[in-house]
Amino acid sequence: MEPNNQEYPEKQVFFPKGYNLSEYHIAVFARTGQLIWESTELDADGQPAKSWDGTLNGNPLPGGVFVWKVLQAKFIDGREWDGMLDENKVKRKSNFLYLIR
């Protein structure tokens, strides 16, 4: 994530992706475990509606490594989201997020 990247606006925020969701909860944590940002908002199409801009209480955070974690995700048909495959083909509901300043 690069908040000052004018060439690639999609890299300026952390915007979770998902479709046909009925329930959803995602959070970003500092490596110390401090909650930095969270959202449960979905738009009318069941997609995440909020993004994280690299701030805490409106103040820019220094560059570093953060952790995102999906705490809950349920599809409209009732199925639970069981994670995404990482580079080792292991399903995960969390991963690292790099904030570059």
**Digit-coded pLDDT (tens) for 16-37:** 999 999 999 999 999 999 999 9
User: In order of start, what are the domains of the chain with their CATH numbers?
Assistant: 9-99 (2.60.40)
- Give the span between the Cα atoms of 60 and 54, in whole angstroms: 6
Asked if residue 77 has pLDDT above 70, the reply is: yes
Closest CA to 42 of 25, 59, 66, 60: 25
Give the chain's end-to-end CA distance (angstroms, integer): 9
Say which residue the tokens 């908040």 belong to: 3
pTM, two decimal places? 0.88
Return the percentage of the chain with pLDDT > 70, whole number.
Answer: 94
3-state secondary structure 14-79: ECCCCCCEEEEEEEEEECCCCEEEEECCECCCCCECCCECCEECCEECCCEEEEEEEEEEEECCCC
Asked if residue 101 has pLDDT above 90, the reply is: no
- Give the span between the Cα atoms of 71 and 76, in whole angstroms: 17
* pLDDT tens-digit series, residues 49-68: 999 999 999 999 999 999 99
Asked if residue 9 has pLDDT above 90, the reply is: no
